[in-house]
């Protein structure tokens, strides 16, 4: 019975989508994930990833009609990266980014759905609701994917402004900091009993664009591998960067880890060169890149940094 109702609803949505498609002007959009006929001026965009796509849409001036997010019992939906920056009250919660709810998405009546490469498994089902475009956030980085997203929703001029601002910061940093490759950086994400090598908010891209260096262990690491406390000294860098999500209570959860002798003995910690950023303000977006670059510039390019003796 439930399957029958869902099928009827999907047919109704598809019929409405077909009628709307006849009236709306469309064009072909293509990237490495395929070619899709999309509306020239989408009126209702559903985002399958809040931290990367929803926040970038908001930065471009597009309010999604639906988005993945995080929801706790008796609490409002939390859209990572957009919290405390934008009014998200008009966005419909469509489930988590790992498991979006197709019925809720269909009820929003979108004319465009945007996701990441790992949403390819859902593409066929979602395409029965609206055109689906996947973007290369992980594959190509923030600057490339943000440019594609801006093109998709007709906001390329705004994207070019943001890209110009970011590139100006990179140029100023390289002009001010001599031999940046001699300064080692390790972006990481700390958990209760371990850590991963990962830089939120595009921090890894900023580090690369600034030309900063890494310790040997970083070059052989993987962001998908959890490391134990015993491996921490392998990543002893001049500067260490971690991020936290204030609304999720992550800072309190990692307090025990940051109280250990291994952590306190790190060069960056001993010399107050451990940087701790709120990633709600610096998502995987162009403004996130700009914010991360500005912070790193101020901490490295505008003050004296201590460098370990590696002889």
pLDDT in tens, 24-35: 799 999 999 999
Dihedral of alpha carbons 268, 193, 256, 275, sign: positive
Per the listing, tokens 């019992």 go with 73
Q: What is the pLDDT of residues 226-282, one digit of tens each?
A: 999 999 999 999 999 998 876 666 777 788 898 999 999 999 999 999 998 887 777
pTM of the model: 0.84
Structure tokens belonging to residue 123: 């593409």
pLDDT at res. 138: 82
Please tell me what DSSP assigns to residue 252: H
**Interval 189-200: pLDDT, tens:** 888 888 999 877
The structure tokens listed for 146 are 């943000």
Q: What integer pLDDT is reported at residue 247 of this predicted model?
A: 63
Cβ-Cβ contacts under 8 Å for 66 (sequence gap 6 or more): 44, 46, 47, 91, 92, 93, 94, 104, 105, 108, 110
Percentage of the chain surpassing pLDDT 70? 89
């Amino acid at each position: 019975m439930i399957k029958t109702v869902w099928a009827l609803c999907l047919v109704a949505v598809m019929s409405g989508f077909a009628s709307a498609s006849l009236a709306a002007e469309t064009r072909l959009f293509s990237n490495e994930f395929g070619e899709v006929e999309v509306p020239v001026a989408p009126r209702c965009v559903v985002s399958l990833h809040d931290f990367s796509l929803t926040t970038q849409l908001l930065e471009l001036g597009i309010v999604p009609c639906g988005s993945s997010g995080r929801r706790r019992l008796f609490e409002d939906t939390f859209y990572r990266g957009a919290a405390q920056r934008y009014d998200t009250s008009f966005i419909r919660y469509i489930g988590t980014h790992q498991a979006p709810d197709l019925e809720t998405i269909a009820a929003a009546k979108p004319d465009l759905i945007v996701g990441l490469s790992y949403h390819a498994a859902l593409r066929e089902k979602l395409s029965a609701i609206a055109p689906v475009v996947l973007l290369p956030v992980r594959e190509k980085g923030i600057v490339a994917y943000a440019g594609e997203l801006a093109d998709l929703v007709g906001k390329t001029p705004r994207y070019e402004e943001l890209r110009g601002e970011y590139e100006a910061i990179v140029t100023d940093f390289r002009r001010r900091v001599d031999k940046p490759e001699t300064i080692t950086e390790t972006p990481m994400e700390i958990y209760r009993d371990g850590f991963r090598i990962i830089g939120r908010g595009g921090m890894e891209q900023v580090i690369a664009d600034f030309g900063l260096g890494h310790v040997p262990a970083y070059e052989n690491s993987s962001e998908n591998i959890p490391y134990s406390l015993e491996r921490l000294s392998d990543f002893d860098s001049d500067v260490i960067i971690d991020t936290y999500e204030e609304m999720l209570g992550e800072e309190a959860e990692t307090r025990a880890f940051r109280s250990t002798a291994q952590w306190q003995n790190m060069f960056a910690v001993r010399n107050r060169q451990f940087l701790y950023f709120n990633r709600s303000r610096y998502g995987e977006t162009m403004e996130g890149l700009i914010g991360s670059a500005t912070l790193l510039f101020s901490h490295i390019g505008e003050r004296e940094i201590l460098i370990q003796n590696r002889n």
